[in-house]
């Protein structure tokens, strides 16, 4: 039976309730430098926030920081132990120059083996396994080395059943990636179109869901109005594709380049503000549970 791979070990679906499918605990996107930050500092800063998140009903959180964003599995582990909140770490690479450099250095086989090692054994000698593969692609189309990296991810996915989530802002580029994944012998069902909300054309959201992939509306509370998201969600429900939907805030996080980690954005917007609005819009509890529990579990469990 599929389980969610977390910092606190594998979790079954019946052990979990609400799951946040894409947030960030610790990251430095501009330079990728972790500045030798210690786990104690981050735990001290974020523990109260994670406690509020748990009190709001969240039982697991997927961390979306991969190589290139100052990923630190030791920090995820320390925070999850202190807070008793399971966190799902990512393998993969999602920034330049790391993407281009590693493709050049390791080749497809080497990259696939590195990801398989992190998915099946551990990240950076922490004893923590990665739960999924996080990548990114250029806004206007796949660069050659990104196609190469995606093929390596598909190879690692075939070996581990891991899901591949890719930062992708245009629907056309999501289609192109599904073609690559299918040609590599893997399945759209293990693909998450991260940042679907950046594509204005709702019909492409439906097309990607129809191909079997997950669509993810991120930055709820920030990028679009709640009403725009709710309108799309209602249309997905009408079309019968709400079982392919993930909702996230894409928030946090402790940034080691800022004093005290910078200004933290809480993980509780969905639970405190957005879900009550979905209820007011007439969406029933069974569908809300599907979207906040069943879908994220199925999207990531393996």
Task: Give the footprint of Zn ion on this chain (CB under 5 A).
Answer: 64, 250
Residues 42 and 115: their CA atoms lie apart, in Å, by: 26
3-state class (DSSP) for residue 8:
coil
74 or 250: CB nearest Zn ion: 250
Q: How far is the CB of 24 from Zn ion (least distance, A)?
A: 6
Cβ 292 to Zn ion shortest distance, Å? 18
The residue (of 118 and 250) whose beta carbon lies closer to Zn ion is 250
Q: What element of type H or E holds 77?
A: helix 73-83
Phi, psi for 4 (deg, rounded to 5): -85, 125
Collect all residues with Cβ–Cβ distance below 8 Å to 293 and sequence separation of at least 6.
Answer: 16, 17, 18, 19
Identify whether the C-beta of residue 158 lies closer than 8 Å to the C-beta of residue 118: no
Whichever of 23 and 74 has its CB closer to Zn ion, that residue is: 23
Q: Which CB, 199 or 250, lies closer to Zn ion?
A: 250
Cβ closer to Zn ion: 64 or 245? 64
Min dist CB 267 to Zn ion, Å, is 12
The two three-digit tokens of residue 299, written as one number: 């999207």
User: Residues 88, 10: contact at Cβ < 8 Å?
Assistant: no
Question: In DSSP terms, which residues pair with 200 in a beta bridge?
Answer: none
The token pair that represents 59 in the structure block:
């039982």
């Amino acid at each position: 039976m599929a389980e969610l791979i977390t910092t606190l070990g594998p979790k079954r679906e019946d052990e979990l309730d609400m799951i946040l499918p894409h947030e960030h605990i610790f990251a430095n996107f501009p330079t990728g430098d972790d500045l030798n930050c210690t786990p104690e500092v981050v735990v001290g800063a974020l523990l109260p926030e994670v406690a509020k998140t748990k009190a709001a009903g969240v039982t697991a959180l997927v961390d979306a920081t991969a190589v290139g964003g100052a990923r630190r599995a030791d920090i995820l582990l320390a925070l999850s132990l202190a807070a008793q909140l399971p966190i799902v770490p990512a393998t993969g690479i999602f920034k330049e120059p790391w993407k281009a450099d590693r493709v050049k250095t390791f080749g497809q086989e080497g990259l696939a083996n590195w990801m398989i090692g992190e998915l099946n054994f551990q990240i950076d000698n922490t004893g923590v396994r990665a739960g999924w593969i996080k990548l990114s692609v250029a806004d206007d189309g796949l660069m050659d080395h990104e196609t190469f990296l995606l093929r390596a991810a598909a190879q690692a996915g075939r070996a581990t059943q891991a899901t591949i989530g890719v930062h992708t802002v245009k629907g056309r580029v999501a289609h192109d990636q599904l073609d690559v994944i299918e040609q590599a012998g893997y399945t759209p069902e293990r693909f998450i179109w991260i940042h679907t909300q950046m594509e204005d054309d709702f019909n492409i959201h439906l097309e990607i869901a129809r191909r079997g992939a997950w669509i993810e509306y991120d930055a709820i509370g920030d990028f679009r109005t709640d009403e725009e998201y709710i309108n799309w969600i209602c249309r997905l429900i009408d079309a019968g594709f709400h079982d392919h939907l993930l909702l996230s805030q894409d928030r946090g996080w402790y940034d080691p380049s800022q004093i005290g980690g910078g200004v933290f954005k809480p993980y509780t917007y969905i639970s405190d503000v957005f879900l009550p609005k979905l209820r007011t819009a007439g969406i029933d509890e069974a569908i809300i549970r599907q979207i906040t529990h069943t879908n994220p579990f199925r999207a990531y469990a393996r």
